[in-house]
Structure 1
Amino acid sequence: MICGVDEAGKGSVLGPMVIAAVGVRTTDVFSDIQVKDSKQLSPLERERLFALIKKQCRVAIVVITAEEIDNIRREMTMNACVARAHSEVIQKLRPRTAYVDACDVNPIRYAETVKSHLNIPCEIVSEHHADITYPLVSAASIIAKVTRDREIEKLKKKYGEIGSGYPSDPNTIAYLSAYIDKHRVPPPIARKSWKTVSAILAKKSQSNLSAFL
C-alpha cells in the first residue's frame, strides 16, 4: 500500500486541525476519481469526492481539538505537532510509502521528522505543494477539509456564527471579539496560544484600562 497525507485547519484560530491519510494498492483508482487539491474544489464537489474516496480507498483520520493544540504547543512547535500527527495517520494505514505535504521550509528535514515518530518501515516522500502534485495527497486534502468543515458546522450549532475559524475571516474575528467582551476570556474552541487571541485580549485590556483612567 501507498498513501497520501494532508491536513486542514493548521492555521485556524477556532476549532480543530484534521489530519487525513488515504491509502491505495494502486493509483489506478484515480482514473475514475478525478481529485484536485481541496482548495480548488467547491464544497459540493468536495462532498461528492469525499464519499467516493471513502468507498474506494482506505482512510485514516485524526482530529486534534483547539485545547489539545494549546497543550501540545507547550512541548513543541506547530510544525512538529503536524509531523507527529502525519505519522499517526500513516501508522494507522501501515503503507510502504507515504507522500506528505511538507510543513517545513526544508522538505527533507520534514520527512525525517515524520519518520522519527514511526515504528514501522515506511519511505516518506515529502514535498511542498504535494496536494497539487500527487492525487493521493489531493485525496487526503479532500478528506481532511470535508471532515474539518463538518466539525466547524457542529461548533456553529453550539456556539453560533463563528465563521470559518481562520484569522483572515472577519466573522471569526467578530465572534472572538464579542465572546471576549461578554465573558472576559476566549471561548473553549479558541486556540489560546494563537497570537490572534492574545492580540484581541491585549486590545480589550488596554481599552478597559483607558476607560478606567
Structure 2
Amino acid sequence: MAEMIAVVDYGMGNLRSVAKAVEHVAPTGTEVRVTDDAQQILDADRVVFPGQGAAADCMAALNGRGLIAPLAEAARTRPFLGICMGMQVMLTHSEENNGVHLLNWFEGEVQRFPAMHDGNGLALKIPQMGWNGIRQAHPHPLWHGIADDARFYFVHSYYCRPSDTALVVGSTEYGMTYASALAQGSVFAIQAHPEKSAADGLTLLKNFTRWNGQAD
C-alpha cells in the first residue's frame, strides 16, 4: 500500500518547494499532501514540518490550528523531519520576539547570532544567508550518501543550543560552531533548507522518504 507523507501547513514556509522536492524523490506512488488537518497528519506515514519566519508567529499559528498535540504524537510515532523554523520550534524557548515558549520536545534555547567577524576582521552578515557546510557529528540514516562537510543552503538569524549535546548530529561554522542538525528517536531536524540545497539536499529528503524512524 502506498504511503502518505504530510507536509504541515501552518501558514509559514515555502510549502510548495518542499512538497515538490519530496514528491521528486519519494518512492513511486507516494502521496505527498500539504495539510493543516490534525487527523490527516496523524494518518500520515511520515511528516515533514517546514517553516520560516518568526517564532512567536509560528507558535501562534500552531496553537490556532490545534496542531500542538497532533505534531507531538506524530513525532513520537513515525519518521518526522523538521526544517529551519521547524527545527528551532522543537526546543524550549527562543530569544526572538522578546522571548517565546516553544514546543519543548528538546530542552534548550534558540538564540540570536551575536555580532561576529570572519578571519579577516570583517563583520559577518546576520542573517546567515547562503551555502555552508554541515559537519556530521554522528552517523545517521539521513546522512547516507552525503559527504561530511557537504554544503547546504541556510537562511537564519537564530541558532539552536540544545542542553543535551548528544542530540547534535550536525554542526556548522559561522563565526562560531552551532548545532545545525538534531536527531532523537524518529525525529530528525535540520536548520538548513534541503529543498534548496541541490543534490545533497535531495539526497537527504530521499533518505527521509525511506527511513524507518530508527537511528541505525
TM-score interval, normalised by the smaller of the two chains = under 0.3
Give the number of the structure whose residues are more often strand, by fraction: 2
TM-score scaled by structure 1? 0.27
TM-score scaled by structure 2? 0.27
